[in-house]
Amino acid sequence: MRVVVVGLGYVGLVTGACLAEWGHDVVGVEADEDRLANLRLGRIPIHEPGLDELVGRHAAGGRLHFAPVTPSAFSAAHLVIIAVGTHDGDGGWQTTTLAASLADVVPHMADDAALVVRSTLPPTFIRQLPGIVDHLRREAGRPALAVLVNPEFTREGSAISDFMKPDRVVIGVAEDPTGRGVGRLRGLYRRTDAPILVLSAADAILAKIGSNLFLATKISFANELAAICDAFGGTVDQVVQAMSFDPRIGGSFLRAGVGFGGSCLPHQVVMTMKIAASAGMTTPLLAAVSAINRRQQKQFVRRIAGGLGGQLAGRRVALLGLTFKPGTDDLREAPSLAIAALLLRRRATVVAYDPMESARHRAASMVPGLVTVASVEEALAGADAVGLVTEWPEFDQIDWVAARRVMRGTFVVDGRNALDPARVAAAGITYTAFGRGRWEASSELAPAEEAAGRLRPEPEAARSITFAPALSGE
Ligand SMILES: NC(=O)c1ccc[n+]([C@@H]2O[C@H](COP(=O)([O-])OP(=O)(O)OC[C@H]3O[C@@H](n4cnc5c(N)ncnc54)[C@H](O)[C@@H]3O)[C@@H](O)[C@H]2O)c1
């Protein structure tokens, strides 16, 4: 099938590359000239595991092309999939980018083609979508088009496998009197045996938003439970594990910590509250989900301050992890940014490390005063306290005995309940997290030969730490 994907960001580029893998002929259309030029040179603008290889292979094999926004790009397609952004960059929804893209695309599509919107739409826009498309077609003197939505359920960091092996495919019908559009879209997914649900466009988009609201609720629930565990001497990991055997509950996403970030969850919670309010409704559950999420970031900072005797001014805090989750370079609504800003406001020196170099550079430009460094070792050297914000697997490998020797203080706050508390405490460092109580530093340090001046065990530890005498940023 000939498919055009419009907007080559996290969603569009993965969609285009995966459709090429399924054997479709794909043209990816991108408005940003730099992004387009880079893609044509084989440079992938985002970090998503496996994407470089997939794009490179299909671009070289001729099944995936990249093109600017020109009328001829759309005329031969059986399906045009729009995946442009719908965020306003300030926690809100915007549809002007989508409306502009519709104006670029719709007049030039073949009469038997179907238009598919993959962007997450505000439910208020769904009712307007068929009318906007009809108007553009009439102005162009062309017959009506099939108009569908096909929301995205993949997760950044595992987007390719999520796309290739979906749990379900949701098709929402905005306008398709003959059923030809749905037939085409089913054909696009013929390589998957996942259930394909055909719903109204409003139901499809609400299924997408409802999924995200539920996931956000699970995280805030876990955070509330963690606070209860801390108050009554429980351990949230054990409590959640015991709960998760109940098939009505399940264990996934019941993770306590600094809360959810990213382009979807915080935004959709807040925007759903706003549109509900404009329809005269209250949404007390979502208000609590959002408030708990914000509270976690403040609590994290309070815990770091608590470990430093309440005094953050002039203290050096190492932040481990900046991206909103591991496996991506995405910083959108990452808790790290708010946490760094809160620490800086209290006049701490904040030194952050993240394995994603591009994320480090962007974070430093987004948070004035934030210092980023290129290794865990540099972040920990001279730190009065350490805060883990993103659970990148490499942080599991830190040798805390060696870390203790380069740190100035002895306090770790684990914002993702990701570290082994016993290992950290045994290294002579006090450990706290969310719902795991407080693990006092053990007075018995591990044998000196284990430290050996390194922060990681073999094999990564082959390189030695450079002990930065003074603060040096990137
Ligand atoms: N990021 C996610 O994990 C995710 C998950 C589910 C749904 N979504 C939704 O998918 C949509 C896209 O999200 P994203 O994260 O990929 O956005 P993004 O900002 O990363 O990418 C959008 C791309 O579209 C391009 N673009 C903008 N206007 C264009 C036009 N008129 N023609 C061609 N290209 C144009 C931009 O230059 C950019 O490259 C949003 O509605 C988002 O809410 C995102």
The residue whose CA has the least distance to atom 35 of ligand 1 is 7
Q: Give yes or no for residue 455 having a pLDDT over 70.
A: no
Candidates 6, 11, 40: which one to mutate for ligand 1, based on the most atoms within 8 Å of Cβ? 11
Q: Give yes or no for residue 450 having a pLDDT over 90.
A: no
Taking a C-beta distance cutoff of 8 angstroms, is the pair 101, 133 a contact? Answer: no
* Residue 215, both tokens: 């996931």
The DSSP element (H or E) to which 38 belongs, if any, is helix 33-40
Q: Report the half-sphere exposure of 32 (CA within 13 A, side-chain side).
A: 11
What residues does ligand 1 touch, defined as CB less than 6 Å away?
6-12, 29-32, 35, 69, 83-86, 97, 100-101, 104, 119-120, 152, 156, 263-264
Of 458, 455, 393, give the one whose Cα is nearest residue 419.
393
The residue whose CA has the least distance to atom 37 of ligand 1 is 32
The DSSP element (H or E) to which 271 belongs, if any, is helix 265-278
* Residue 413, both tokens: 């706050």
Average pLDDT of every residue of the chain: 93
pLDDT at 458: 38
> Three-state SS for 136?
helix
Beta bridge partners of 27: 4, 65
Q: Ligand 1 centre from 294 Cα, in Å?
A: 25
Average pLDDT over every residue of 189-202: 97
Q: Strand ranges (DSSP E) for 332-384?
A: 349-353, 371-372
Q: Which residues are catalytic?
A: 264
Q: Ligand 1 centre from 179 Cα, in Å?
A: 27
Peptide bond into 459 cis (omega under 30): yes
Taking a C-beta distance cutoff of 8 angstroms, is the pair 84, 7 a contact? Answer: yes
Of 228, 385, 421, give the one whose Cα is nearest residue 307.
385
* Residue 427, both tokens: 């290294």
Interval 271-330: pLDDT, tens: 999 999 999 999 999 999 999 999 999 999 999 999 999 999 999 999 999 999 999 999
DSSP state of 250: -
In which band, very low, low, confident or very high, does the pLDDT at 93 lie, cut at 50, 70 and 90? confident
Taking a C-beta distance cutoff of 8 angstroms, is the pair 150, 117 a contact? Answer: yes
The residue whose CA has the least distance to atom 32 of ligand 1 is 31
* Residue 234, both tokens: 């429980």
Average pLDDT over every residue of 368-386: 98
Q: Ligand 1 centre from 12 Cα, in Å?
A: 7
Q: Ligand 1 centre from 9 Cα, in Å?
A: 5
Strands 371-372 and 430-432: unpaired
Residue 380 Rama label (left phi>0; alpha psi -120 to 50; beta): alpha
* Residue 21, both tokens: 């893998």
Reported residue count of the chain is: 474
Ligand 1 atom closest to the CA of 12, numbered from 1: 16
Per-position DSSP letters for 176-241, written without gaps between them: -TTSHHHHHHHHHTTT--S-EEEEEHHHHHHHHHHHHHHHHHHHHHHHHHHHHHHHHT--HHHHHH
The residue whose CA has the least distance to atom 19 of ligand 1 is 85
| C-alpha distance from residue 331 to each of 31, 100, 263 (Å) | 22, 26, 8
The residue whose CA has the least distance to atom 31 of ligand 1 is 101
In which band, very low, low, confident or very high, does the pLDDT at 457 lie, cut at 50, 70 and 90? very low
Interval 100-151: pLDDT, tens: 999 999 999 999 999 999 999 998 899 999 999 999 999 999 999 999 999 9
Q: What angle do CA 461, 467, 470 make, to 5 degrees?
A: 150
Candidates 40, 117, 263, 265: which one to mutate for ligand 1, based on the most atoms within 8 Å of Cβ? 263
pLDDT at 18: 98
Give the span between the Cα atoms of 234 and 433, in whole angstroms. 13
pLDDT at 456: 41
* Residue 131, both tokens: 């009318």
Q: What angle do CA 302, 307, 309 make, to 5 degrees?
A: 90
Domains within the chain, CATH numbers bracketed = 2-194 (3.40.50.720), 209-293 (1.10.1040.10), 295-462 (3.40.50.720)
Ligand 1 atom closest to the CA of 101, numbered from 1: 31
Q: Give yes or no for residue 452 having a pLDDT over 50.
A: no
Q: Ligand 1 centre from 175 Cα, in Å?
A: 23
* CB atoms near residue 115 (< 10 Å): 28
